């Protein structure tokens, strides 16, 4: 089962026009386009926030790990 050919696409388009009407199709396409645009914008915002969060939290995490390691490391005395 492959991609529909030219005739099949025309039949599908005719059915869509009959179901929704010629005036409603541009409105549906416009709404779909806005939805995709908003989705892409939100994905970009999420990525930007993750980058900002990672860049501000990473140094704090490293410092806290250094402090924890310093506290947990037992001090050894020289044995003679």
Residue 51's nearest CA partner among 38, 43, 65, 66 is 43
Distance CA 5, CA 9 (A): 6
pLDDT at 77 over 70: no
Residue boundaries of the structural domains of the chain: 22-62
Distance CA 20, CA 55 (A): 49
DSSP 73: S
pLDDT at 74 over 80: no
Alpha helices in the chain (DSSP H): 6-20, 24-72
Q: What is the pLDDT of residues 51-70, one digit of tens each?
A: 777 677 666 666 666 667 66
Q: What is the pLDDT of residues 15-54, one digit of tens each?
A: 988 988 888 888 988 999 999 999 999 888 877 777 777 6
Predicted structure pTM score: 0.44
């Amino acid at each position: 089962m492959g991609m529909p050919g030219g005739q099949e696409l025309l039949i599908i388009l005719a059915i869509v026009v009959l179901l929704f009407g010629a005036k409603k199709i541009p409105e549906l396409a416009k709404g779909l386009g806005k939805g995709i645009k908003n989705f892409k914008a939100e994905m970009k915002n999420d990525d930007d926030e993750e980058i900002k969060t990672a860049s501000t939290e990473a140094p704090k995490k490293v410092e806290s790990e250094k402090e924890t390691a310093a506290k947990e490391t037992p001090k050894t005395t020289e044995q003679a």
